[in-house]
Copies of this chain bind each other. A is one copy, B any other.
Amino acid sequence: MSAHLATPLETPVAAPAPTFADAVARLRALLKGDLDAVNGEILARMTSPVQLIPDLAGHLVKAGGKRIRPMMTLAAARALAYDGDHHVKLAAAVELIHGATLLHDDVVDGSSLRRGARTANVIWGNKESVLVGDFVFSRAFELMVAAGDLRVLQVLSRASGVIAEGEVLQLTTQKNIDTTFETYIDVVDAKTAALFAGAAHAGAIIAGAAPDAETGLRDYGRYFGIAYQLIDDVLDYDGSHNDLGKNIGDDFREGKMTLPVVYAVARARTEEKSFWRRVIVEGRQEDGDFEQAAALMNRDSAIADTIACARQYTDRALNELRHVEESEYADALRDLVQTSLSRIT
């Protein structure tokens, strides 16, 4: 992978390169004790005398996902030799912020499937998802407060606001065929990368990182987050490699201007502009349109260039890790980024 070549690290990288799933498994094994504690924290915070809350929140927690964000908090703290236990609370808080966002996103997008399971809004309803999302979000803040570090609170409350800003910005780009590359990267930077950055940053701060390591880990999270979202965007058009457990083509059906669409629209021939206008702007989609969109994306390198763009961001993420001393945690974080393109390629 060219990402290997781009990293300035002098340490040799093991070959053959592991897959992203391998890297996640490695990180999970390394952080097993911490992750168990995170799960305990999350479950403890989802209790309520109002039965619907543990039911719905439990569904969200059980559906689980890869826990990449909390692992970034944990690994960042551990990479800096942190030996307290506040990083567990912060990692749980990060996962709960993510969970609250998912509950609201699925309402906003009208999604019915996530991580291979029916979404909470489909099982319990939109109203319930909105309110339980608020509950989960509040609990996330309680956890952060319990960790007792005002700078972390500042970073993560700011990140939460930026996520919401990104979601609103995305809403305004939806069905807007004139959305530019720059605007779309702004969307991704806010809606996805802000929490990746906040997660790693929180781990660094709680561990008392030196300034370079702190901003390094923050920016590692940020660039990795952008790459991660771009890969998700490709997977929405590429069923053969989909590991999202959500419906392929969801983005397309919702008229989302993700990077593959931005590129494809920019490169469309005159007679194809009306196709994009019909399916994205007017939202009038027919059988075969999705396949047609994917075909145009492949013909015009929209998918390939989205992957290339993601690779640029993985390179930048790896580069930021130079500020962090060598350790198995730092190495596992590097692995995560180096393998992330394997979700597609």
Contact = CB atoms under 8 A, between A and B. Distances in A.
A172 interface: yes
A250 to B, nearest CB: 15
A206 B225 CA distance: 38
A131 B108 contact: yes
Interface string A43-59: 00000111111000000
Interface in A128-170: 128, 130-132, 134-135, 137-139, 141-142, 144-146, 148, 150, 153-154, 157-158, 160-161, 163-165, 167-169
A134 B167 contact: yes
Q: Which of A50, A100, A172 has the most CB of B within 10 A?
A: A50
A127 interface: yes
Interface residues of A, number: 42
Given A131-B104, A134-B137, A137-B134, A153 B164 contact: no
Given A52-B172, A131-B164, A135-B165, 10 more contacts: A50-B165, A50-B168, A100-B134, A108-B130, A127-B171, A130-B130, A132-B168, A138-B160, A139-B161, A144-B157
26 contacts: A50-B165, A53-B168, A101-B134, A104-B130, A107-B130, A108-B127, A127-B171, A128-B171, A131-B164, A131-B171, A132-B168, A134-B137, A134-B164, A135-B164, A137-B137, A138-B157, A138-B160, A138-B161, A138-B163, A138-B164, A141-B141, A141-B153, A141-B160, A142-B157, A148-B150, A150-B150
